[in-house]
Structure 1
Amino acid sequence: MLAFWGLMLQATPQLVTAATTDAKQKVTFMIYPEIPKDNLGGNKLGYFNLKLKPNTEKTLKIKVFNPTDKPITVNVSAKDAQTADDGRIDYLSDAPVAKKLLPSPGSYYLQFKPRVVVPSKSQEWVNVKVKMPATDFKGKKALAINLAAMGKNGGSINNRYVYAVGVTLNGTKLSVKKLQRLAMPKMKTGFVDKQPALQFKVNNPDPIFLKKGHLSIKLTNQKLGFFNYKLDLKKMHIAPNSTFNANLLLGGKRLVAGRYTMVAHFKSDQYRRQIKKTVQITKTDARYINDHNVAYQKKLKMLIIIISAYAVLGIILIYYIRKHGSRDSKND
């Protein structure tokens, strides 16, 4: 079981306490990041936001408290910010970063001990050294210092407590004119949480955060325009140099094979972007998705039942009309 408390958006630097809904569960550990005076935006940000010169070093400090009766081993790691599906910044993912988009991750610049043992009723400092490269980089590098420990929940399952303390390293500022902007290189069919979907690969090739993003996508069949699929995602936050999937869930809709025109519109606080391209849905992919689309199959079965019922009623009605019609004609 994973319990997660992030410090990315804390209003002020303060002692952060882990808590659970289980009354029997004791607090595992608490942390206090020491925000430096030269932090961009001040220490009220609650995370490390640094502008360091090339070839310089700086030590970041996080105090760890152990209020329990036993020593706690805290595992320390650095995770580069990624973007989760449909647009949410993720500081916990174990998936490797996309090297083509982020060839020099910010986590490479951090040095620390991988684990710290905190004695009972005591505290220890986690020291993280930031060692900047010899040459400056462009834009921003986003990552988090993750501190994790296991704690008993009173049963057979352990809770894993994770704190993510954000780190933003600021390089040379990029002008809007020099941005490559959002790209959507491919689309594929698949399943998301067992639900059939069209998955659009989205890349942010630029070393900037894209905030308050709004992505709308429409696929229109080039031969039969009434076959179309739409996706609308709002309040997206996209990490620098990251990739993710925008998932168009099909629900009970039938997937129709054919050639489609894709028109995508994206806007954020940084810029606007339109992407237009042709995508292909093969008969094989469409058949497989439809065969495994539970909602569509239920809908299809219901439609067959309704059509069958109407057909039976039609046959009965025709038989009734013919039978009674022939009697009426004899009487005449």
Structure 2
Amino acid sequence: MSSNQKLFNFFVIGLVVSLFFGTPLVAYASDNETFAGFTTDAKLPDNQYTKEVTYFDLKMTPSQKQELEVILTNASSKEIVVVPSINRAQTNRAGVVTYSVKSETNNAGLIYNVEDIITIAEKEIVLKAHEEYKLKLQIKMPEQPFEGVLAGGLYLYNKTTAKTEGNIKNHFAREIGLILRTTDKSEEIVGDLALKKVTTDQENARNVISLLLENAQPAYLSAVDFKGTVTKSGSQESLLRLDKKNLSIAPNSTFDLPISLDGEPFKAGTYEFKGTATQKERVWHFDQTFQITSEEAKKLNQKDVSIKKENIFENRLVLTLIGLLFSLLLILIVLLSRIYIKKCRMKKWKERQRKKKKRTKTLKK
């Protein structure tokens, strides 16, 4: 299998746990054996539906059983441990199809899960230096035909190279796409897009508005552009904007698409999201109202590390109170000064009167 073919390419994924935020970040690198430490070669069978690709895309019949083969080669001079798994295709928060984790729930419209249909006997594979290993994948198709495609992937990560440095964890992996279909008409099924709900959330300890989107059809959606705005309910003024290009969405998947607040705090109130998704001539329109409570806003704002901590001198109320206190202090100083001056004058007057009386007595004598 050529390593420079891009469709369903074997990704090298670095999972980074942020030192400050404690949230995994996914970074993609090129298909380079230096990173993963091993190479993969998928042996495509005769029933490969799409011939020009390097991933598995198989047309099969109900109840059919088949064995697939992937050759793993340790490209390093040291022993490594590779962990394989079959995972259903999912869509991540960046709008990218991924096969890196097991699915937690079945999404709407999903009849069969590829994780139940394709199995691997090995939990771990130990590869000696430059050793080659034939990994077998067992397929047992459902008894009934199905529309569209079942999509997943073979995920392989190098357990040996997984490192922890402080709070940062890294491991490198490869993915090989796995698509199953039972009919030539599977391509007639097209993906769809629905907005399920709009909520407040956080990403990397930063406030976001989260759009829960769903493709409930057994077909991929690719090259989707998504635009939207958030306004105060009843207002035309745009508070937040979203502009995403070239999204890829897995079959029967739901995913969160975040809109960043860019360091601004949540404010309680009723808001409205309006958006449009386009794929060539296809267009989807979305319009949904949502609320942010005071309690919800306060809780998330306290956790947001990007919100500028308010300087006491930038708070208008505090400034007003300081101004009032200063004015009262000034008035008090003026009053005390006048009282002091008056007392001093009175003292001097009394002193003059005393001296005057004394002189008068002296003259009489």
TM-score by length of 2: 0.69
Q: What is the Cα deviation at residue 131 of structure 1?
A: 1.7
**Among 83, 88, 93, the residue aligned to 2:96:** 88
Give yes or no for the alignment of 1:56 onto 2:64: yes
**Among 173, 194, 199, the residue aligned to 1:183:** 194
Query: What's the CA shift string for 1:184-228, capped at 9, x where partnerless?
Result: 221221210011111111111111111011122222212444363
Change (3 A) 1:308 1:129: same
Structure 1 CA distance, aligned partners of 2:214 and 2:86? 22
Report 1:38-57 matches (<5 A).
Answer: 38-42=47-51, 44-57=52-65
* Overall identity of the aligned pairs, in %: 22
Structure 1 CA distance, aligned partners of 2:313 and 2:306? 11
**Among 236, 248, 259, the residue aligned to 2:270:** 259
Report 1:1-332 matches (<5 A).
Answer: 8-9=8-9, 18-20=33-35, 28-42=37-51, 44-68=52-76, 71-114=79-122, 115-151=124-160, 160-172=171-183, 173=185, 181-226=192-237, 228-269=239-280, 271-298=282-309, 304=315
Change (3 A) 1:99 1:237: closer
Query: What's the CA shift string for 1:265-302, capped at 9, x where partnerless?
Result: 11125832112222222222233344444544347768
* 8 Å contact from structure 1 (residues 78, 110) kept in 2: yes
Higher-Rg structure is 2
User: Which residue identity does 1:8 align to in structure 2?
Assistant: F
* 8 Å contact from structure 1 (residues 212, 235) kept in 2: yes
Further displaced range: 223-232 or 292-301: 292-301
Structure 1 CA distance, aligned partners of 2:160 and 2:271? 52
Further displaced range: 64-73 or 179-188: 64-73
Structure 1 CA distance, aligned partners of 2:163 and 2:305? 39
* 8 Å contact from structure 1 (residues 50, 168) kept in 2: yes
Structure 2 CA distance, aligned partners of 1:92 and 1:100? 21
Structure 2 CA distance, aligned partners of 1:223 and 1:155? 50
Q: Which runs of 5+ in 2 are unaligned?
A: 1-5, 11-30, 327-365
Q: What is the Cα deviation at residue 233 of structure 1?
A: 1.5
User: Which residue identity does 2:138 align to in structure 1?
Assistant: K
User: Which residue identity does 2:87 align to in structure 1?
Assistant: K
Q: What is the Cα deviation at residue 37 of structure 1?
A: 3.9
Structure 1 CA distance, aligned partners of 2:68 and 2:120? 10
Aligned to 2:230, what secondary structure does the other structure show? Answer: strand
Structure 2 CA distance, aligned partners of 1:156 and 1:281? 38
Change (3 A) 1:201 1:302: farther
Structure 1 CA distance, aligned partners of 2:249 and 2:93? 10
Q: What is the Cα deviation at residue 50 of structure 1?
A: 1.1
- Count of residues in correspondence between the two structures: 295
Structure 2 CA distance, aligned partners of 1:243 and 1:266? 15
* 8 Å contact from structure 2 (residues 91, 250) kept in 1: yes
Query: What's the CA shift string for 1:92-128, capped at 9, x where partnerless?
Result: 1245243445342112111322244444443221111
Query: What's the CA shift string for 1:213-249, capped at 9, x where partnerless?
Result: 1122222212444363222211111111111111111
Aligned to 2:296, what secondary structure does the other structure show? Answer: helix
Q: Which runs of 5+ in 1 are unaligned?
A: 1-5, 11-15, 21-26, 316-332
User: Which residue identity does 1:112 align to in structure 2?
Assistant: I
State the Cα RMSD in Å. 3.5
Structure 2 CA distance, aligned partners of 1:180 and 1:65? 37
